[in-house]
């Protein structure tokens, strides 16, 4: 075996070859498209793939369907497919925000929920599910209440964490964690105060993450928020690379770390609030996907932000499919399955000696 001196004299080891980015993106797009079709076709109702494809084609093109195909069309186009699309949107948003938050606070354990936004949204959602707040808004009541309470949580976290020097990583993490526990206590009290057992069960399902209420009305707002966040983060990718190396290095490279951290906080909070409002608190996606993608494409945020949203979208579409079929006709909370899948994957990831936060 060559000595350490000999290895040093030979020069640095050649960098590990990365996966071809265009090839990876093309493969993920194809897998995502196939996953959406599977999301529309797999379920408790036994529909043939021919029926599923005909219903999808009719929905996408506005074509007519035979009267005897109306039940199948309703199941595929009105129930399953919007749910699959929303799962993809939520998975993409949580994965991208996970990357942004980890760069913002420079903490490998950070995820979209470390800011306390999700627990704040849970307060509004529980107020609707348990006490009927905003009942006059009908199907929009849950999304509206949870998004408004998420914005309130964002304002509180920002007001408490802000200092004359701006937002610092440590204060953001500590404030977000404290607010998380505070809002969680409020939601727990609301569940115990519920007079109806079914209302408490619905609240628990929402807090653990569920896409059961997905419909076409809930997709556009969440998709617009996620798309806007992705565009801003992609535009800021070079600045994220500088921020990940520390505030002093970022300043030397001409990046205002305080201003960028404020932008990231607002974007992350807005996207998190929008997706949590339609899906509940789905954990582990924003923590697991960014680390897994770093192993494939490295720590460059330009590559990370191109791959992670697609990977997160594929992951959550299949997790949602599993949540519907594992105990069919009953439905598991999506957050339970992301934890069941995420914990062993994350442990294996951490056991890799070659992996460190910021690069593999």
pLDDT digits over 190-247, tens only?
Answer: 888 777 666 777 777 777 888 888 889 889 988 999 999 999 999 999 999 998 888 8
Cα(199)–Cα(178) distance, integer angstroms: 27
CA angle centred on 193, ends 191 and 198, rounded to 5°:
55
The CA-atom distances, in angstroms, between 253 and each of 105, 246, 323, 351 are 19, 11, 46, 34
Q: Is 287 inside a domain boundary? A: yes
Domain, as residue range, for 155: 47-211+223-351
pTM: 0.86
Q: Is 54 inside a domain boundary? A: yes
Inter-residue contact 125 to 145 (CB < 8 Å): yes
Q: Is 89 inside a domain boundary? A: yes
Q: Is 5 inside a domain boundary? A: no
Cα(271)–Cα(257) distance, integer angstroms: 21
- Tokens (6 digits) for 43: 């379920």
Q: Is 283 inside a domain boundary? A: yes
Q: What is the pLDDT of residues 259-275, one digit of tens each?
A: 898 898 888 888 888 88
**Sign, Cα dihedral of 241, 244, 245, 248:** positive
Cα(269)–Cα(264) distance, integer angstroms: 8
Cis bond upstream, residue 247 (ω within 30): no
Q: Is 175 inside a domain boundary? A: yes
Mean pLDDT lowest among 115-119, 218-222, 251-255, 299-303? 115-119
Picking from 34, 30, 80, the residue whose alpha carbon sits closest to that of residue 55 is 80
The CA-atom distances, in angstroms, between 211 and each of 111, 248, 319, 351 are 20, 43, 11, 32
Which of the 8 DSSP states describes residue 133? T
Q: Where are the beta strands (DSSP E) in the chain?
A: none
Inter-residue contact 349 to 100 (CB < 8 Å): no
Instruction: Look at the chain and report how many structural domains it folds into.
Output: 1
- Tokens (6 digits) for 140: 């929009």
346 versus 287: which is more confidently predicted?
A: 287
Q: Is 17 inside a domain boundary? A: no
Q: Is 19 inside a domain boundary? A: no
CATH number at residue 337: 1.10.3470.10
First to last CA, the chain: 25
């Amino acid at each position: 075996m060559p000595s350490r001196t000999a290895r040093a004299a030979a020069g640095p080891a050649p960098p590990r070859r990365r996966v071809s980015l265009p090839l990876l993106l093309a493969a993920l797009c194809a897998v995502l498209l196939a996953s959406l079709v599977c999301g529309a076709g797999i379920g408790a109702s036994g529909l043939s793939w021919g029926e599923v494809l005909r219903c999808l084609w009719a929905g996408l093109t506005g074509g007519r369907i035979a009267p005897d195909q109306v039940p199948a069309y309703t199941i595929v186009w009105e129930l399953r497919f919007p749910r699959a699309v929303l799962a993809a949107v939520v998975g993409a948003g949580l994965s991208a925000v996970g990357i942004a938050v980890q760069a913002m606070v420079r903490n490998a354990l950070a995820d979209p929920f470390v800011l306390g936004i999700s627990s704040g949204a849970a307060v509004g959602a529980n107020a609707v599910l348990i006490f009927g707040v905003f009942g006059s808004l009908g199907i929009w009541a849950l999304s509206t209440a949870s998004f408004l309470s998420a914005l309130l949580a964002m304002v509180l976290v920002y007001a408490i964490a802000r200092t004359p020097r701006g937002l610092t990583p440590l204060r953001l993490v500590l404030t977000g964690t404290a607010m998380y526990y505070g809002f969680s206590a409020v939601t727990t009290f609301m569940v115990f105060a519920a007079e109806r057992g079914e209302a408490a069960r619905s609240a628990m399902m929402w807090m653990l993450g569920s896409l059961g209420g997905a419909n076409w009305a809930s997709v556009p707002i969440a998709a617009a928020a996620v798309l806007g966040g992705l565009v801003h983060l992609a535009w800021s990718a070079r600045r994220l690379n500088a921020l990940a190396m520390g505030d002093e290095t970022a300043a030397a490279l001409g990046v205002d770390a305080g201003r960028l951290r404020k932008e990231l906080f607002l974007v992350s909070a807005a996207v998190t609030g929008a997706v949590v409002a339609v899906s509940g608190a789905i954990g582990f996606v924003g923590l697991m996907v960014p680390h897994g993608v770093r192993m494939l494409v490295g720590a460059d945020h330009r590559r990370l932000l191109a791959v992670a949203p697609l990977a997160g979208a594929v992951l959550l579409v299949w997790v949602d499919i599993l949540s519907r079929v594992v105990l069919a006709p009953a439905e598991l909370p999506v957050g339970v399955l992301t934890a069941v899948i995420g914990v062993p994957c994350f442990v294996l990831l951490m056991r890799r000696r070659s992996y460190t936060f910021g690069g593999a």
